[in-house]
């Protein structure tokens, strides 16, 4: 097998006396889609926050492309090649759709230049337009982001993450709050992205995960209780007990 | 998803109305033209020069408040530092006016960097309170160091009567000439601010204003971005302070007080935070109100305060911002 793109070792995170995450060890190979599931409060979001640098782990280490990145400040992650979306839509509401993506593209080129004319950096426009086309938002290019429909805002957030051409894409519930139609569009988008990207996603909608992911990790009370193919996870008695059993609606 | 949309002309700000786009492209020359005409449109020269100086202070403040989204309550410190250092450099060290101005701007900028360094880690109301506390510290320092600053009596004795520009002597005791000399500096500052707003950094500060979390996830160091914006804002404020010192030839202690900081916030909001020329409109509106209302009552602050509250409640974009929005139509969708 190829060397892992991302490897977490014995990662844990506590908040005061509360252990949100404990002893998680896993390695992720390139060009795979891995889903992270678990009941509410299982530590999925904490795990994601640790992986995207929002907070350092209390214990353990994270290696990206063989390099130890534990404790790296969050704003460096985009430069390393790790981009994320948030569970609650996180865009620049008053900027246009195009500006949202363009400013994300600009981060990798220049951050403190107070002198040049940014309109002259046309390659950023092309990059932004390509990312918008990839998520199907080219037609809303000049709309103000806050006026987009919910599903379009989610797609925009993925374009914002995508424009940096990240090697690892972390998606926190990309279909949260979406209706069936919007979910279908998003699944189509994720399937297209999955062809040549490494994606980790947190999701609640079981049907969608089973079709989309190569591998599923199950968290419960901050611990990794199962790790395997969708078929394996579906038949795992422990997983059925803590997760699938109590959520018949999702399964 | 159509191919034609990706070949639209590149425009960083993507203005949604041709009128507004044209105004944005010509904002520096148009602003300078307006400032050139100002002394002839207003009832008094003194009012015009005050609009120029306080407007410039508000322009610097707007960079931080309107564009970066940080509500500082301490900008009097940088304005005052610029004025005091210029006055002291001329009066006590006999520096030429231009060198004194440079020193004032540099000192004000350094002070802003320091205050920014100490305040930027805090957020929201805490940020405002830390900047307020630090500017009060500067106020009391100036009050105590009376051998330098003149204490409560203010700084006097540094009158500049003529200035030499490449061998050309200009008598700046003449109010009209003085106005235009000061205006050259304000114009240069406007050009600089416009350039910053059009730069890549201009996009970053707007991103930070819109959503800090997202900006950080995009790869921007939010704290450093804020610190740079704070410092630039302080530099413009200090420049306004040096112009104030040259204009009045006195620096009253009052200039460092909390009232000055509050006034700048009001001017910026009245005119329109986040609009390029709004701060000048706000300064004009504020000073006109002060002039007119104080003719019939000494409690002019009550009226100005009421108007301010009405603006915050019903016209949050301010005079200029609302006018621009009306010009652009209700569009945006």
This model of the complex carries an ipTM of 0.92
Residues of chain A with Cβ-Cβ distance to B207 below 8 Å are 92, 95, 103
pLDDT of residue A1: 54
* Averaged pLDDT, B122-138: 96
Compare A193 and B166 and report the one with higher pLDDT.
Answer: A193
Q: Is residue B6 part of a domain?
A: no
Q: Please list every residue in chain B whose beta carbon sits closer than 8 Å to the beta carbon of residue A108.
A: 219
Residue B7 placed within a domain: no
- Helix A97-106 × helix B200-210 angle, to 10°: 120
Q: What is this structure's pTM?
A: 0.92
A contacts of B189 (beta carbons < 8 Å): none
What DSSP character marks residue B211?
A: -
* DSSP secondary structure letter of residue A96: B
Mean pLDDT, rounded, for B161-182: 90
Q: Residue A168 half-sphere exposure, CB side, CA atoms within 13 Å?
A: 24
Residue A192 contacts B, CB cutoff 8 Å: no
Confidence of residue B64 (pLDDT cuts 50, 70, 90): very high
Q: What pLDDT score does B13 carry? A: 41
- Cα distance between residue B165 and residue A156, in whole Å: 54
Average pLDDT (B93-98) is 94
Determine the Cα–Cα distance for residues B174 and B162; give it in Å rounded to an integer: 10
For chain B, what is the domain count? 1
Predicted local confidence at residue B11, as pLDDT:
37
Reduced to 3 states, what is the DSSP secondary structure of residue A35? strand
Residue B331 lies in a domain: no
Average pLDDT in chain B: 92
- Which of A77, A106, A125 is the closest to B203 by Cβ? A106
Q: Yes or no: say if B104 and B83 are a contact pair by the CB < 8 Å rule.
A: yes
Q: For the CA atoms of B17, B19, B20, B26, what is the dihedral angle to 10 degrees?
A: 140
Cβ pair A116:B332 closer than 8 A: no
**B32 lies in a domain?**
no
pLDDT, residue B328, reads: 77
Is A118 within 8 Å of B206 when comparing Cβ atoms? no
Q: Is B262 domain-assigned? A: no
Q: Tell me whether residue B261 is in a domain.
A: no
| Residue range of the domain that includes B73 | 43-256
Tell me if B112 is assigned to some domain.
yes
| The pLDDT value given to residue A39 | 86
- Residue B247 in any domain: the answer is yes
Domains of chain A: 1-80+196-251 (3.40.50.300), 82-165 (3.40.50.300)
Mean pLDDT of chain A: 91
Q: Which residue has the tokens 């908040």?
A: A15
Name the residue of chain B whose CA is nearest to A73's CA. B221
């Amino acid at each position: 097998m190829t060397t892992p793109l991302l490897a977490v070792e014995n990662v844990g995170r506590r908040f005061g006396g509360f252990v949100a995450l404990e002893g998680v060890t896993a390695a992720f190979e390139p060009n795979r889609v891995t889903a992270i599931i678990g009941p509410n409060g299982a530590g999925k979001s904490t795990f994601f926050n640790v992986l995207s640098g929002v907070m350092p782990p209390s214990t353990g280490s994270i290696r990206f492309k063989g390099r130890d990145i534990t404790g790296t400040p969050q704003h460096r992650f985009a430069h390393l090649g790790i981009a994320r979306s948030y569970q609650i839509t996180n865009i620049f509401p008053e900027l246009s759709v195009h500006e949202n993506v363009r400013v994300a593209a600009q981060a990798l080129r220049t951050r403190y230049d107070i002198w040049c004319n940014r309109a002259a950096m046309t390659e950023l426009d092309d990059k932004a337009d390509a990312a918008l086309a990839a998520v199907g938002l080219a037609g809303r290019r000049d709309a103000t982001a806050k006026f987009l429909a919910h599903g379009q805002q989610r797609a925009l957030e993925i374009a914002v993450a995508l424009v940096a051409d990240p090697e690892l894409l972390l998606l926190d519930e990309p279909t949260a709050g979406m209706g069936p139609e919007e979910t279908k569009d998003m699944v189509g988008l994720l399937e297209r992205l999955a062809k040549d990207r490494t994606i980790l996603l947190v999701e609640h909608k079981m049907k969608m995960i089973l079709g989309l992911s190569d591998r599923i990790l199950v968290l419960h009370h901050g611990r990794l209780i199962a790790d395997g193919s969708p078929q394996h996870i579906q038949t795992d008695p422990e997983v059925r007990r803590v997760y699938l059993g109590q959520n018949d609606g999702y399964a | 998803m159509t191919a034609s949309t990706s070949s639209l002309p590149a425009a960083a700000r993507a203005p949604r109305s041709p009128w507004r786009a044209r105004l944005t492209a010509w904002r520096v020359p148009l602003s300078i033209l307006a400032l050139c005409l100002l002394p002839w449109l207003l009832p008094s020269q003194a009012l015009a020069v005050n609009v120029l100086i306080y407007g410039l202070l508000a322009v610097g403040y707007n960079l931080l408040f309107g564009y970066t989204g940080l509500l500082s309550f301490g900008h009097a410190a940088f304005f005052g530092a610029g004025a005091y250092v210029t006055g002291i450099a001329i009066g006590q060290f006999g520096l030429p006016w231009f060198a004194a101005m440079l020193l004032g701007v540099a000192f004000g900028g350094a002070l802003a960097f320091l205050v920014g360094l100490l305040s930027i880690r805090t957020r929201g109301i805490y940020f405002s309170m830390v900047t307020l506390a630090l500017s009060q510290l500067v106020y009391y320092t100036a009050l105590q160091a009376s051998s330098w600053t003149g204490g409560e009596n203010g700084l006097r004795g540094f009158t500049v009567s003529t200035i030499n520009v490449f061998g050309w002597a200009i008598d700046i005791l003449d109010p009209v000439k003085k106005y235009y000399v000061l205006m050259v500096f304000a114009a240069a500052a406007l050009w600089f601010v416009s350039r910053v707003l059009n730069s890549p950094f201009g996009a970053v500060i707007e991103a930070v204003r819109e959503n800090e979390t997202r900006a950080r996830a995009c790869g921007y160091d939010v704290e450093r971005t804020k610190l740079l914006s704070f410092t630039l804002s302080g530099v413009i404020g200090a420049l306004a302070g040096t112009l104030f010192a040259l204009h009045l030839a006195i620096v009253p202690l009052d200039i460092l007080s909390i009232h000055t900081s509050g006034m700048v916030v009001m001017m910026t909001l009245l005119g329109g935070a986040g609009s390029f020329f709004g701060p000048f409109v706000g300064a004009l509106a504020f000073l006109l109100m002060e002039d007119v209302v104080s003719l019939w009552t000494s409690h002019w602050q009550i009226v100005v305060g009421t108007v301010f509250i009405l603006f915050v409640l019903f016209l949050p974009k301010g005079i200029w911002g609302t006018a621009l929005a009306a010009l652009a139509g209700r569009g945006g969708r």
